[in-house]
Amino acid sequence: MPDIADRQPFEAFETLRPLSGRLSRRHWLAGAGASLTALALPPFAAAQPTEGLTADGFRLLRARPGEARLRGPTAPATPIWGYEGLAPGPTLRARQGEELKIRLVNELPQATVIHWHGLRIANAMDGVPHLTQMEVAPGASFDYRFTPPDAGTFWYHSHFLSSEQMARGLFGALIVEERAAVDVDRDVVLVLNDWRLTNAGAIERGFGNFHDAAMAGRLGQYITLNGEDSLELPVKTNERLRLRIVNTANARIFRLRIAEHVTRVMAVDGQPCPPEVVPDGVLRLAPGTRVDLFLDAALKPGSRAPILVDDLRGGELEIGHLVYGDGAPLRAQPLAAPHPLPANPLPDRFDMAGSLTIDVPLDGGGMAMMMRGGGMGGGMGGGMGAAGFRGHGLPPQDRIWALASVASSGHDGPPMFSVPRGRTVVMNFTNRSAFPHAMHVHGHHFRAFAGNGPALRPYWLDTVIVDPEHSERVVFVADNPGKWMLHCHMIEHMATGMAAWFQVT
Ligand SMILES: [Cu+2]
């Protein structure tokens, strides 16, 4: 069990103990000649290009089979499913307050839908099968159109059979640009994912198997940035980069750092926060979460600095590098400390006295019996037996996890709660299982309390890590009418009961 008792003031950025210094050489082959294909864009590029749109103004997003060179440029490509056949899919760019029109065309052999993670948009566009729309059959299409209220870093992914469809590659970043330019030299999207591959490089099957579901979820043994085995990100001395990091993995929590650089968090889960230098440089990123960093490239021309993630065994893996050009610095000195990003129009007046408070214990999974000394009601006998939760929409053998003692598909049965629009909701998540969970609320951002008192942490979230034996108390104004899902973003946990929905009327 990791020691997570000592909370940093800036809780998302948990300190990682200094590591042994031995770096994996997994990528030693990939350094020379690796492609320079970071998704780097000029910071003030036009939001959505108008070319390539349908006659009625939609951008086509075809979900279809494709190939990706996940193991480097020389290894055989991996057959994937991706938007436009790419994994990650194309980075979509929108402008705050302007309508985005996307036509999903399903060229897969399965039905699918798209969920727009973190976007506070109309419920009918949220992309949750049965709750907000029916799944889109093979050969069919669905028009999504919405106006993002918030500028920031978001992402999109399949929300149908997602243990399989996300593991096959159906995800991508969605950037909503601020109305006014942000003072950075470049805007770089970094999509962080893990993949479980066979020796031959195919996507390993066994999606949603019982072992994954009852344990940490599906973890992959290959880690990519922007679908590349070893990303080379070119930089210039004294350049300021905005790095938009997105964790699209099914279940893996990454600890990520960029060696030899100071990084400053500017936004979390798409929402600006007071700029804060990351303690020890290590970000802890749950599945589904995003962090916007400003990085001032302070090394000499010709330098290289690794981008590292933990390997879950106390070591680190190199997954890419900042590669400094040999030319002159971009400017003589790095830029001064940045101003905060402009705030988004979030509902931040919490009526605590009139709030609806919901206790949501998180139960189930393997090892619960062991951990709880055999006495936990919802635990799994011998670590792997039937959990015995009552449930909605799931057969008994798939009821491995529960929210508030109910194992649900997340769209069947009654809502966990129903509130009138505008009411403040407090949710108290208590993790009584042996695994961390990443609790995600659709259609809303929330604040987390700093402890048992009234103080709030200085940032907004749409997904919060709840560690074993810990609680997280969050608050939001239920201001978005509709039927919204609430679930663990370890996708295999979601698919086996750790899901619910609530209604805002
Ligand atoms: Cu979970």
What is the distance in A from the centroid of ligand 1 to the CA of 233? 33
CATH of domain 39-177: 2.60.40.420
- Indicate yes or no: pTM above 0.75: yes
Cβ count near 436 (within 10 Å):
21
Show the DSSP H helices in 136-244 as ranges: 162-168, 210-214
Which pLDDT does position 462 carry in this prediction?
A: 98
183-324 and 356-504: identical CATH topology? yes
Which pLDDT does position 49 carry in this prediction?
A: 52
Dig out the tokens for 61 from the structure: 């997003």
What is the distance in A from the centroid of ligand 1 to the CA of 504? 24
CATH of domain 356-504: 2.60.40.420
The CATH class for the domain spanning 183-324 reads mainly beta
What is the distance in A from the centroid of ligand 1 to the CA of 240? 36
Residue 94 contacts residue 155 (beta carbons within 8 Å): no
What is the distance in A from the centroid of ligand 1 to the CA of 252? 10
Quickly tell me which residue has 């780097």 as its tokens.
Answer: 40
Residues 6+ apart with CB under 8 A from 440: 117, 288, 462, 463, 486, 487, 488, 489
What is the distance in A from the centroid of ligand 1 to the CA of 402? 9
Phi, psi dihedral angles at 470 (to 5 degrees) = -125, 165
What is the distance in A from the centroid of ligand 1 to the CA of 498? 7
What is the distance in A from the centroid of ligand 1 to the CA of 286? 10
Q: What is the distance between the alpha carbons of residues 160 and 106, in angstroms, rounded to a whole number?
A: 12
Q: Which residues of the chain have pLDDT under 50?
A: 1-47, 369-386
Q: What is the distance between the alpha carbons of residues 460 and 457, in angstroms, rounded to a whole number?
A: 8
Which residues have CB less than 5 Å away from ligand 1 (the ion)?
Answer: 437, 488, 490, 493
Q: Which amino acid would we find at residue 357?
A: T
What is the distance in A from the centroid of ligand 1 to the CA of 485? 14
What is the distance in A from the centroid of ligand 1 to the CA of 403? 10
* Three-state DSSP state, 183: coil
Dihedral sign computed on CA atoms, order 151, 472, 450, 308: negative
Tell me the pairing of strands 423-431 and 471-478.
antiparallel
What is the distance in A from the centroid of ligand 1 to the CA of 430? 12
What is the distance in A from the centroid of ligand 1 to the CA of 467? 10
| Residue from 416, 398, 409, 399 nearest 360 by CA | 416
Give the start-to-end residue ranges of the domains of the chain: 39-177, 183-324, 356-504
What is the distance in A from the centroid of ligand 1 to the CA of 490? 5
Dig out the tokens for 223 from the structure: 């880690």
Cβ count near 16 (within 10 Å):
20
| Residue from 89, 81, 71 nearest 198 by CA | 71
Q: What is the distance between the alpha carbons of residues 375 and 262, in angstroms, rounded to a whole number?
A: 46
Strand-pairing partners, residue 412, are none
226: left (phi over 0), alpha (psi -120 to 50) or beta: left
Centroid of chain to Cα 417? 25
What is the distance in A from the centroid of ligand 1 to the CA of 469? 13
Q: What is the distance between the alpha carbons of residues 70 and 6, in angstroms, rounded to a whole number?
A: 36
Tell me the pairing of strands 390-392 and 283-285.
unpaired
What is the distance in A from the centroid of ligand 1 to the CA of 30? 34
Where are the strands (E) in 90-177, listed by range?
Answer: 92-95, 100-106, 114-117, 141-146, 152-158, 171-177
